Structure 1
Amino acid sequence: DVHLDEILSSLTCGAHLVLLRSGGHLDFDYLTRVICDHHVTFIAPVPSWIDALCQYLRQNNHASQRMKQIQWWFIGGEELFSSTIQQLLPFIHDECHLLNTYGPAEITETATCYEICREDLSQMISIPIGHPLDGYDIYVVDEYRQQVIPNQQGEIVIGGVGVFGGYYEREDLSEQVLIDMNGEKCYMTGDFGRIDGETDELIFMGRKDYQIKLRGQRIELGQIEHTIMKFSSLISGCIVMKYTYHEQEHIVAYVETTSTSVNDEDLREKCLSTLSSYMIPSMFIILEKFPLSLNGKINRKALPTPDFISFQKLINEDIESMSLMEMRIHHLWCDVLHRKRISTKISFFFLHEFGTAPDIVLCLQQASISEHAQLLTKAITSISNPHYQSWFSLHADHGEASFAQSRIFLDEQIRFQSSNKKTTAIYNLPLLCRLSESTMSIECLQQILRQITEKHAILRTNIRMDSTTGRLNQYIQPNNIHDWFSFHTSIIDDNNELKIILNDELTNRTYFDFNQGRVFRCHIVRQRSSITNHHDFLSAGDWMIFNFHHIAFDGESEQIFLDDFRQFYNYKQQVQVNDEKTTLQYIDYSTHERQIDMTAAKMYWRQIFKDYETIQPMILPVDRKLPSNGIYTGDGLSIEIYLNNEILKQFIDYASYSNATLYQLCLTIYYIFLYKLTGGQRDIIIGIVQANRYRPELQRIIGMFVNTLPILIHIDSYDTFE
């Protein structure tokens, strides 16, 4: 595509076009001599080629003046960083023009342009790609192809005179990328960008292809690259990629620099101070120069393969000198991370997991086994009540429901009840899993679910109101009568049908029956194309939807269920289900909790709320009034607020400066928002949920433990934000 600009532009304006020999653009001695000898004034390179050129010019002083006569640098093809321009400046003329351009081949080369101001480089990391050229229109849209507001990230869509007609004999691909916007044909680039709210310039935010999922977390690789680029002006390039080694997923960062002062330990510390733990690269590979393709762009396929063998040696280094406390923590880490050996000096977050500890702030700051051992030892020796007694199994098969269950029951039966049978369910918790490889016997799947319901009695428990006492009770049912979970099968032809099924699992109120102990169901969804002669086997690509009612399941239960499923599947009949008579069940928790003396807790909350107006509801602007007859639809609404990367970075910086958590900062902003929305209401209460698994013996029990806590604040209009 670039040949159009280089050849046709030369012909139309009467310029002299200099052609290099084959491969000459990578022979920098030959190239710079040709540029100097032919008095070249215009050049259109890619950023990675400039990095390689600057490295040559720094090492060969005799060639350092050969690029001075170039008047126009027409840069494009890759994201341009300020560090690239800063290292180029000593070798170019002070008054030459530096243009950062953007445009894929599908729109006929160039759609936007930004002229770089040398004075602004110190304030930038990534150079903007500017405003649209005459004849082009730029849109930034969300996943629904609606234009986003300024400073919000979205996909870049280009319209105008240069948009191509489609891919040759590939109508299927053409339909995926060509859309209509405001009556004109536009091209969806697959690039992320945002419009700067102050300058109205387009900012490149990375490729859509470079957004990955790692252990369930969505990660923008470009965000990691920008963080590393900020570390030092001596870093000229960074590429972050995802690798899989021995079924373990890793993020690997390639860093281009000629400086010996840039090392992986400092890079990791920089990332730890800025990024979430799951975004920290496993390895940092430092290179003097990135490999380039024939067109001068970075050749990602030619980057060196990570040495995971050395990485494993680092993790599995000698641990013979551990103290007793270190050995205990080492055992816990290995159990959680599914590893045999872990270095005592390596950070917990270096291994891409997240955990809690006595003081989370200290544990984040002191994140190795040795440091955790010291923290735990100090915490244990400072416990004021050393006579801790674990809860034990009460061998009960019936009892009163827990406080959490009662709340769920009342919510669903009263607050969200409706005469309309089509009313959306509030407390269905579907868990979607996909068979990624091999096959699974449906009979084996059912057997695993029977073992799980045998182990966790809450999944075969009746819950009903006693009309005599007015209490909500639970009754454990024997496991050997029949399956206490319902089992369903659907066959689909495309993913749209899967979405309909999943939405039905999420919203259908008829799937669970407390009185009959039906709080858990399994729905397998099979691809018609994958069904073979063996109809009783699931194939790769088939789906399993495990759906639970919230009265028997919470967010923490999800991982417990998956861990048990994995264990029963891997070891089949070798694993014995725990003995009900000795294992703590959810009904034991309910009974023990009911026996706790709540007098002090009630006094505490009454004391907290005594000076606040809690009866009067918040005066919020509404679009409809509450029904006077007290009959509600039972419908609810959930609103999600997304923050773009720039705002998120400001949040992180401010929270760090204020020694606060992001949660505290967001909660403060929400309080102020409600204060403004209510016209200055001073007493505001927000309900938050807490896992409520406050004892060690509750950590591996499936059930509903979540507690709602009221967070109350009295706002003084004269207070500052701080």
Structure 2
Amino acid sequence: VSSRIITYLNEPEFADALNDNVKYLLFAGEKFNTNLLKVVERNHNIQLFNGYGPTETTVISSVKNLTEEVIKNGGNIKNIRISTGKPLCNFTTYILDKYLKPVPIGVVGEIVLGGYSLGRGYLNRNEINIKKFIHDPFLTMKGTNNNMYKTGDIGNWNEEGEVVCVGRIDFQVKIRGQRIELSEIENVILEMEQIDNSVVLCKRKENKEQYLVAYYISNTEEINGNQIRNYLKEKLPRYMIPNYFIEIKEIPVTNNGKLDRKALPEPSINDMIKEEYIAPETETEKEICNIFSQIFKIDINEIGKMGNFYDLGGDSLNAISILSMIEKKFDIKIKFKDFMNNSVINELASYIDSIIQNKDNNYQVDIIERRNSKEFPITSQQLGVYIDSIKNSNTIIYNVPMTFILKNNVNIEKVKKSFEALFAENDILRTKYNSKEINGKTEIYGIVDDECELKFEEYTYENANSFVRPFELSSAPLIRVGFIGNEVLMFDMHHIITDGFTTKVIINEINKYYNEGKFNENEIQFSDYAIYLNEN
């Protein structure tokens, strides 16, 4: 297990002992620490293997020779892609989605194992056996006990047909609406030469708010949490940056040598990495600090005038809430992009003060004109999604699917009529995207297709996983609605026409029409907003 050995790697006596006495090193039982590649960097004669497999399948089910990868890379351990190799003989390895269907190469799913070495189950633990040891519908290996084991690990196939173990389903967390895998953060921290080992945990405050803690072992006194945080800010989205950084001497392990997460120390306020506190000075700065304190649920005495919206973990929903509170407090409207461009509290306060001053000089809030246009230029936010979707036409990464369990008394026909009414009311739901030649340049335009139809798809529990599939951006509509009998409602939209906030609005509008037979009035369409942005 890598946790046992990693702390000794920088000891000269230990390194000499490895070089003189060890030919083969096989690690398994937990995530491979990339710093172990230093063993091969020093001595190519040591064969270093990364193995994978739980006890339930008689330990090792796949293995990868990493020494060969380092040699292929010219002896350089940088950018080595870590996998657990191909399945061994007598093993079957599947990577399945939540409906137990195989996923394509590169798509993450649960690792499920079978074959001759699979155990029969846990002794006298039938309630667990039913969930974990399930029937193998593929039966690719005859003579086995016809079962397969759900490991609870998540991973994917790479292009070489090897298993890449990403982490545990249990360790996937959702921070500020974003689902992340903690091992991704750990791997970036391990890129730093001064770091020997790292563990990242997700914890909860008393108010249930989640936060990230990074524990690290350094090989020098010249590294601290603030430096690690700055490195992560260059590599990761802001929502993946831990709030706390704690240096430890060693990684605690259980009796069987695996990481003991419960034994890691609890973070204190001294472990939080934040900007140097500078007290707010103006009344506007004090009010903004108070608003940020309420939104992020942080003590107001910890938020100074240099507090940054992004560093505090802000997202688009937080921004909307802050803008709403600013409007109520100061009786002004701030554009979303202007708020994002003034993300530091003192900058935002100065910007608000300038608006208030100009307001007294006949400051006017922009009013978007309704034009009823059936064509509009794509917005800058949409353009990035469009380009990536065109490059990767078979991807579903930009699908925004949702599923709802319907109550027994729900009228399916009324639900369908609500969707049809919403579809007719909102041009964006009938929009497709094509290129046009304008003044010798190719431009991307949204085109409202009033001829397209919203179709309702019918599924069973067995084939429901085929509902989410790639959209063709040049063909409207970019929304699908499906049902599993009268029990489940599914709808899926492309991210180019929606986001998390818009999806909530759609749900509320469907609910309103279902109960009242009417929507809230649309003063403008998305096309009006897009044209306004293009002209301003």
- Give TM class, smaller chain: 0.5 to 0.7
Question: Quick check: 1:127 aligned with 2:82?
Answer: yes
The CA distance in 1 between the partners of 2:447 and 2:254, in whole Å, is 67
Give CA deviations for 1:442-476 in whole Å, capped at 9, x if unaligned. xxxxxxxxxxxxxxxxxxxxxxxxxxxxxxxxxxx
The CA distance in 1 between the partners of 2:119 and 2:155, in whole Å, is 21
Describe the shift of the 1:126–1:343 C-alpha distance in structure 2 as closer, same or farther (beyond 3 A).
Answer: farther
SS of match in other structure, 2:217: strand
Q: CA deviation at 1:292?
A: 2.9
Q: Which residue of 2 aligns with 1:101?
A: 51
Describe the shift of the 1:285–1:641 C-alpha distance in structure 2 as closer, same or farther (beyond 3 A).
Answer: farther
Amino acid at match of 2:18: M
Give CA deviations for 1:657-701 in whole Å, capped at 9, x if unaligned. xxxxxxxxxxxx965x659x9xxxxxxxx9846989xxxxxxxxx
Describe the shift of the 1:403–1:124 C-alpha distance in structure 2 as closer, same or farther (beyond 3 A).
Answer: same
The CA distance in 1 between the partners of 2:363 and 2:46, in whole Å, is 78
Q: CA deviation at 1:378?
A: 5.7
Q: Which residue of 2 aligns with 1:305?
A: 266
Q: CA deviation at 1:280?
A: 2.7
The CA distance in 2 between the partners of 1:387 and 1:70, in whole Å, is 77
Q: CA deviation at 1:67?
A: 1.7
The CA distance in 1 between the partners of 2:62 and 2:456, in whole Å, is 51
Q: CA deviation at 1:390?
A: 12
Of 509, 512, 520, the match for 2:414? 509
Describe the shift of the 1:372–1:102 C-alpha distance in structure 2 as closer, same or farther (beyond 3 A).
Answer: same
| 1:547-626 map, 5 Å | none
Q: CA deviation at 1:340?
A: 4.8
Conserved? CA contact 1:257–1:289, under 8 Å: no
The CA distance in 2 between the partners of 1:510 and 1:674, in whole Å, is 24
Amino acid at match of 1:67: L
Amino acid at match of 1:245: K
Of 68, 88, 91, the match for 1:136? 91
Q: Which residue of 2 aligns with 1:239?
A: 199
Give CA deviations for 1:224-270 in whole Å, capped at 9, x if unaligned. 3233334x133232222122223232221212222334332233334
Q: Which residue of 1 aligns with 2:28?
A: 76
| 1:14-33 map, 5 Å | none
* CA RMSD in angstroms, aligned pairs only: 4.7
The CA distance in 2 between the partners of 1:118 and 1:633, in whole Å, is 53
Q: CA deviation at 1:95?
A: 1.2
Question: Quick check: 1:173 aligned with 2:173?
Answer: no
Question: Quick check: 1:196 aligned with 2:158?
Answer: yes
In structure 1, runs of 5+ residues without a counterpart are 1-45, 392-401, 405-430, 433-497, 514-548, 555-611, 621-625, 627-631, 643-668, 678-685, 693-701, 714-722
What's the TM-score once normalised by structure 1's chain length?
Answer: 0.48
Of 64, 70, 81, the match for 1:114? 64
The CA distance in 2 between the partners of 1:127 and 1:297, in whole Å, is 19
Amino acid at match of 1:128: S
Amino acid at match of 1:239: V
Conserved? CA contact 1:688–1:711, under 8 Å: no
SS of match in other structure, 1:173: helix
Question: Quick check: 1:709 aligned with 2:526?
Answer: yes
Amino acid at match of 1:83: N
Of 342, 345, 348, the match for 1:372? 348
Q: CA deviation at 1:318?
A: 6.3
Q: CA deviation at 1:323?
A: 2.3
Conserved? CA contact 1:550–1:704, under 8 Å: no
Describe the shift of the 1:508–1:249 C-alpha distance in structure 2 as closer, same or farther (beyond 3 A).
Answer: farther
Describe the shift of the 1:361–1:176 C-alpha distance in structure 2 as closer, same or farther (beyond 3 A).
Answer: same
Amino acid at match of 2:121: G
Amino acid at match of 1:100: N
Describe the shift of the 1:615–1:390 C-alpha distance in structure 2 as closer, same or farther (beyond 3 A).
Answer: closer
SS of match in other structure, 2:17: coil
Describe the shift of the 1:312–1:297 C-alpha distance in structure 2 as closer, same or farther (beyond 3 A).
Answer: closer
The CA distance in 1 between the partners of 2:35 and 2:25, in whole Å, is 16
Of 213, 218, 243, the match for 1:257? 218
Conserved? CA contact 1:225–1:240, under 8 Å: yes
Q: Which residue of 2 aligns with 1:67?
A: 18
Q: CA deviation at 1:71?
A: 0.8
Q: Which residue of 2 aligns with 1:562?
A: none
The CA distance in 2 between the partners of 1:332 and 1:613, in whole Å, is 37
The structure with more radius of gyration: 1
The CA distance in 2 between the partners of 1:639 and 1:272, in whole Å, is 37
Conserved? CA contact 1:130–1:202, under 8 Å: yes
SS of match in other structure, 1:253: strand
Conserved? CA contact 1:158–1:189, under 8 Å: yes
Q: CA deviation at 1:73?
A: 0.8
The CA distance in 2 between the partners of 1:712 and 1:403, in whole Å, is 10
Count of aligned pairs: 407
Of 296, 307, 316, the match for 1:337? 296
Give CA deviations for 1:588-628 in whole Å, capped at 9, x if unaligned. xxxxxxxxxxxxxxxxxxxxxxxx9969878x9xxxxx8xx
Amino acid at match of 1:212: V
Give CA deviations for 1:76-132 in whole Å, capped at 9, x if unaligned. 11111332222x3466x4312111111100000110010012234635366210001
The CA distance in 2 between the partners of 1:381 and 1:223, in whole Å, is 47
The CA distance in 1 between the partners of 2:446 and 2:415, in whole Å, is 39
The CA distance in 2 between the partners of 1:674 and 1:270, in whole Å, is 42
Q: CA deviation at 1:370?
A: 2.2
Q: Which residue of 2 aligns with 1:182?
A: 138
Q: Which residue of 1 aligns with 2:179?
A: 218
SS of match in other structure, 2:292: helix
Describe the shift of the 1:371–1:260 C-alpha distance in structure 2 as closer, same or farther (beyond 3 A).
Answer: farther
Conserved? CA contact 2:212–2:244, under 8 Å: yes
The CA distance in 1 between the partners of 2:304 and 2:181, in whole Å, is 29
The CA distance in 2 between the partners of 1:688 and 1:52, in whole Å, is 50
SS of match in other structure, 1:238: strand
SS of match in other structure, 2:18: coil
The CA distance in 1 between the partners of 2:218 and 2:235, in whole Å, is 21
The CA distance in 1 between the partners of 2:63 and 2:446, in whole Å, is 58
SS of match in other structure, 2:89: coil
The CA distance in 1 between the partners of 2:231 and 2:17, in whole Å, is 38
SS of match in other structure, 2:215: strand
Aligned residues with identical type, % of pairs: 23
What's the TM-score once normalised by structure 2's chain length?
Answer: 0.63
The CA distance in 1 between the partners of 2:61 and 2:119, in whole Å, is 13
In structure 2, runs of 5+ residues without a counterpart are 140-145, 324-333, 373-401, 427-444, 460-465, 479-494, 503-511, 513-518, 531-536
Question: Quick check: 1:85 aligned with 2:37?
Answer: yes
The CA distance in 2 between the partners of 1:613 and 1:111, in whole Å, is 50
Q: Which residue of 1 aligns with 2:240?
A: 279
Amino acid at match of 2:52: Y
SS of match in other structure, 1:67: helix
Question: Quick check: 1:346 aligned with 2:307?
Answer: yes
Describe the shift of the 1:219–1:330 C-alpha distance in structure 2 as closer, same or farther (beyond 3 A).
Answer: same
Amino acid at match of 1:182: F
